[in-house]
Structure 1
Amino acid sequence: MTDNNLFWNASIDELKKGYIYDYNKDTYVCLICGKTMENGVIHEYNNQLLTCRKRMEYHIDKDHGGIFNFLISLNKKYTGLTDNQKEILECFYNDMNDKETAKKLSISQSTIRNYRFKLREKEKQAKIFTILMDLTARHSDSNKLVEPHKTATMIDDRYQITKEESEKIIKRYFTEEGGLKDLPSKEKRKIIVLRHIADNFKPNNRYSEKEINRIIKRIYDDYAIIRRYLIEYGFLDRTKDCTYYWVK
């Protein structure tokens, strides 16, 4: 799973590339999976010597199928696109003209032209909305909603969590040493607690069940229930035989 703050705080240009450059660590970071590559290192790939940036571009293209395919496959909660709109955009992305698109999707060319118009209108609305949200955010950082993790099994009112609310819950349920005092029963609080615990696991790392248990047990004695919730709520994934776990 991608670091949500990293992904959602990236600029539009960075999102289009699929990676950012971390000036503090002098590394390139994939916004999809969190993979890092140290700047200045020459990478060998398919009998080619590549710079770090170029290798990251190859990684996004070859390992993730490109940033377009990743973004278009996101949940409708994030894209706001219907299945038909996704199909139309995929055709446009592949340089198909109206006639070719109409034939592939078995609809009329006039319908395609209508989709083009509606999508352009949607683009204009998105620009204005982005500006309005940016201006609003400058006035109230504490009321800013915390982005739900993209692999959440179901996104609903439980995920309407402000930054201030998240900080209060973490302070209430965790000790200064990082231990969990008690597992909350209310869903919204539970999600905040689980997200905080999930931050203890690194993207791209594969953990054995024993390692997972050890990390969780440092935080809460009943590691089995926390491990189960991390899976159920989409923070972690695992192999069918439970041999390995990883950040989803």
Structure 2
Amino acid sequence: MEEKYFIWNSSIGELVSGYKEESDFYTCTLCGRKFKKGSIFTINENLYDAFGAVNEHRAAEHGFTVDYILEQNPSFSGISEVQQQILKLMSEGKNDKVISQSIGIAQSTVRNHRFKLREKEKQAKVFLALMDSLEEKTNRSINQADIGIIEELHTSATMIDDRYNITDVEREKTIRAYMDENGSVKQFPAKEKKKIIVLREIANNFKPEQEYSEVEVNRILERIYDDFSTIRRALIEYGFMDRSADCSVYRVRG
């Protein structure tokens, strides 16, 4: 599931465009799907080279980057739920009057949020410069803790808090304690942080771009843990997986 964390290692330009060019591949920066250069891809009965395919894939699967980001939990982008609603409506071309009527706030409040978002944008530029300069000066990334490397959280986490403050050392120790060499769960942990580590490993068994029926999900999970229904519910609860309203379609989240 490492491709699900590809977004964290992309530049702003690569995120906006929706792809990253590498020596042999074009890679979708929103889900990590790779398109090998020199290959021909069939999408919706049309043929594309790698560059065309990654753009067609991004448009079909994710829409614009703004659409993808605004579908995530607001904590993913560091904005409030109201600001997320406003930005969604702005992306649809709605004016302040329509936005205020749609979400039940005054037009002056909409304008105030516009101002705050603009200030956040300026602060974000300074913050990025600060972090790059800090790493350059210390030759050490901010996620390099004394007890290991702090790992990236999954982009669809339902809440961002200390439970996700996980180092590579903690992850490896937890996996050894709770999972066997075949990837089966020996015991499902009770502690939240360890539970997240195990669920993240389990989610690796699903392909990000594939849809699964509940029967297919159960078939995969029952090979991993006897109480597969508990695992299935936890994958959804912690944001690793989505399911349709009628529970007929499951898909691992990016």
Q: Shorter-normalised TM-score: what interval?
A: 0.7 to 0.9
The answer to whether structure 1 residue 178 and structure 2 residue 183 are counterparts is yes
Q: Name which of structure 1's ranges 12-21 and 146-155 shifts more when overlaid on structure 2.
A: 146-155
Asked if the contact 2:73/2:157 (under 8 Å) is kept, the reply is no
* Paired positions, count: 240
CA distance in 1, matches of 2:74, 2:191: 26
Q: Deviations over 1:158-204 (max 9, x none)?
A: 22323332232223222233332211111111111111111121111
Q: Report the equivalent of 1:11.
A: 11
Code of the residue aligned with 2:150 in structure 1: it is L
Asked if the contact 1:61/1:67 (under 8 Å) is kept, the reply is no
The unaligned stretches of length 5 or more in structure 1 are none
The answer to whether structure 1 residue 164 and structure 2 residue 169 are counterparts is yes
Asked if the contact 1:170/1:192 (under 8 Å) is kept, the reply is yes
SS at match of 2:251: strand
CA distance in 2, matches of 1:148, 1:231: 15
Percent identity between matched residues is: 46
Code of the residue aligned with 2:63 in structure 1: it is G
Q: Report the equivalent of 1:141.
A: 144
Code of the residue aligned with 2:238 in structure 1: it is Y
Q: Name which of structure 1's ranges 192-201 and 128-137 shifts more when overlaid on structure 2.
A: 128-137
TM-superposed CA distance for 1:140, in Å, is: 5.3
Q: Report the equivalent of 1:52.
A: 50
After superposition, where does 1:1-248 map in structure 2 within 5 Å? 3-23=3-23, 26-43=24-41, 50-82=48-80, 85-86=83-84, 101-102=95-96, 104-105=98-99, 107=107, 112=111, 118-134=116-132, 135-136=134-135, 137-138=140-141, 141-142=144-145, 143-239=148-244, 242-248=247-253
Q: Deviations over 1:16-42 (max 9, x none)?
A: 11122454xx33332334444332234
CA distance in 2, matches of 1:186, 1:60: 37
CA distance in 2, matches of 1:46, 1:178: 36
Q: Deviations over 1:46-65 (max 9, x none)?
A: 89754321232233234423
Q: Deviations over 1:54-103 (max 9, x none)?
A: 23223323442311222244332122234565576668778x8xxx9555
Asked if the contact 2:151/2:168 (under 8 Å) is kept, the reply is yes
